Structure 1
Amino acid sequence: MTRAEQIADILRGRIATGRLGPGDAVPSTRAIMRDHNVAMATASRVLVLLQDDGLIESTPGRGSVVRAADGVGSAVLTRDRVIATAMSIADAEGLGAVSMRRLASTLDIPTMALYRYVPSREELELAMLDSVMGEVDLRPQTGDWRVDLHGSCMAMWRSMVAHPWFAGALSMTRPASMPNAMPLAERMLGCLHAAGLDPVQAFTDYLCLLNLIRGLGSTLEPELADRAETGLDNDEWMDARVGELRRIAPESTHPNMARIMEVGYPYDVDVLLESGLRRFLDGIQTRLV
């Protein structure tokens, strides 16, 4: 990276974080020379790079200023709108479809203009995850720990169903800092404490429940993609392959598999979740009796 590119990155960061907003003057060539101890050619190159990015423009009498986003007034395009648009793309096509270039194209702004609202692709994804957590609809508590805990789990599940990419993007081993995740965590832990669990066991069961929900949620996006590609839902796909399953698991050696193939299994991820939650909560309740 050249010295001009390094300085341009510093100024991009100021624009991305809002320290320099639309219409604000950016450092002049002389100011860049003085502040960064570089030659005039290097300082001039810095401004050219920012102009090429669509981040600044020359204004008579003012020099170079931060440019407002093309096609969208600065009062209209906000960070929230950028994040919401990214989520819409992910909901329709998967998280992998959300690139900075694709997002900028959808918003009809230069790609580099996005960095005024989100400094990086990584921060965009984190903001999307936090936004989904902010949609988790926690209902008023009833005072019954089991009812309230079940309701909290189902609230998170509804958000996963609404955003199929969400579960796969969550890390349970190295979780990101998401302010909007805290109300759900506090509610679930409070329910587990109300059930009589100590702080360590409560947090253990909290993580187990999250992993149960996330694990089933991570099947949503791949299933939608497979359905779009094959035109078959899960049951239709399995029906087309039951003959192959019988071949590799004949009744003579796999009688238990043969039983379920005989009666058929109506796959439903909501049924799996409800069954898993019920049995998990039964286990907590039984232990407390």
Structure 2
Amino acid sequence: MSRAEQIADELRMRIVTGRLRPGDAVPSTRAIMRDHNVAMATASRVLSLLQADGLIESVPGRGSVVLAPDGGDPAVLTADGVVSAAVAIADAESLAAVSMRRLASALEIPTMAVYRYVPSREQLEFAMVDRVLGEVRAPNASGQWRADLEAAATSMWATMVRHPWLAGALSMTRPAAMPQAMPLAESMLSALHATGLDPVQAFTDYLGLLNLIRAVGLTLEPELADAAETGMSNDEWMDTQVAELRRLTPPDRFPNMRRIMEVGYPYDPEVLLTSALRRFLDGIESSVS
């Protein structure tokens, strides 16, 4: 990285973090020369880099000033609006598609201007996940622990279906502390404690239930991507694999695999989740009765 790029990065950070706001003057060429002990050509290059990023403009009589983002909808150009735009891209294309460049294009602002609203790609993803977790509706306690857990699980699943990237963005081993996740966690733990489970077992079952829902949710985004790429549904694609599966499963060696092949299996993630959830809760009910 050149000296001009290093100095430009320092000024860029002051702009995107709000220490230099739209309309504020940025250091002049002479000030950059003095403060950083660089030649005029280097100082001029610093201002050229910031101008190319769409962060500053030259104003007669004032020198270079921070440029307000333009081209986008002012109602959208807020931290909340930027996160909403990122969620919309992830819903339509995938979480991986949400780059700062892609987001800037959707907002019709320079790429570096995005950092005025979200400090980093990592913090943007955190805000996106927290936002959609706020859509999960924790049920009011009904006094029926099983019904409350089913309602919470159903709401979480519905949110994953609306946002197929969510399951893959959730970490179950090193979860971040997300404000919007707390009501659901409290509701589910309250239902589990109502069974008489001790706090450790209740939390273990809570994590087991979350992992179950997330595991099925992890199939949503890849299936949408595969369907878009192949133009075939899961059932249609499986039809193309039948001959090879039959070859690999002679009935004398794999009678049970052949049995389900003869019957046929209409894969449906919601049916899979419903069955797994019922059996999971059956286990808890059996252990506390």
- State if a TM-score over 0.5 links the two structures: yes
CA–CA separation in structure 2 for the residues paired with 1:29 and 1:186: 56
CA–CA separation in structure 2 for the residues paired with 1:39 and 1:74: 39
CA–CA separation in structure 1 for the residues paired with 2:177 and 2:43: 38
> How far off its partner does 1:19 sit?
3.0
Matching residue of 2:116: 116
1:134 partnered with 2:101: no
15-24 or 32-41, which deviates more: 32-41
Matching residue of 2:270: 270
> How far off its partner does 1:173 sit?
1.6
Matching residue of 2:71: 71
16-25 or 249-258, which deviates more: 16-25
Q: 2:259 is aligned with what amino acid?
A: R
212-221 or 27-36, which deviates more: 27-36
Change (3 A) 1:142 1:48: same
Alignment of structure 1 residues 120-199 onto 2, 5 Å:
120-199=120-199
Structure 2: gaps of 5 or more residues: none
Change (3 A) 1:26 1:191: farther
Matching residue of 1:279: 279
CA–CA separation in structure 1 for the residues paired with 2:173 and 2:83: 25
Asked if structure 1 preserves the Cα contact closer than 8 Å seen for 2:75 and 2:81, the reply is: no
Alignment of structure 1 residues 1-289 onto 2, 5 Å:
1-29=1-29, 31-32=31-32, 41-72=41-72, 74=74, 76-289=76-289
Change (3 A) 1:7 1:198: farther
Change (3 A) 1:218 1:50: same
> How far off its partner does 1:7 sit?
3.1
> How far off its partner does 1:114 sit?
1.0
> How far off its partner does 1:33 sit?
5.2
Superimposed CA distance per residue, residues 23-59 of structure 1 (whole angstroms, 9 cap, x where no aligned partner): 2333444554565565655444333221121111122
Under a length normalisation based on structure 1, what TM-score does the superposition of the two structures give? 0.91
SS at match of 1:58: strand
Asked if structure 1 preserves the Cα contact closer than 8 Å seen for 2:26 and 2:65, the reply is: yes
Asked if structure 1 preserves the Cα contact closer than 8 Å seen for 2:83 and 2:128, the reply is: yes
SS at match of 1:24: coil
Superimposed CA distance per residue, residues 102-126 of structure 1 (whole angstroms, 9 cap, x where no aligned partner): 2211211111111111222222222
Superimposed CA distance per residue, residues 242-279 of structure 1 (whole angstroms, 9 cap, x where no aligned partner): 22212211211111112211211111100111111111
SS at match of 1:57: strand
SS at match of 2:134: helix
> How far off its partner does 1:158 sit?
0.8
Aligned-pair RMSD on alpha carbons?
A: 2.1
> How far off its partner does 1:140 sit?
2.6
Structure 1: gaps of 5 or more residues: none
Under a length normalisation based on structure 2, what TM-score does the superposition of the two structures give? 0.91
Q: 1:245 is aligned with what amino acid?
A: L
Q: 1:90 is aligned with what amino acid?
A: A
Change (3 A) 1:48 1:277: same
Change (3 A) 1:34 1:200: farther
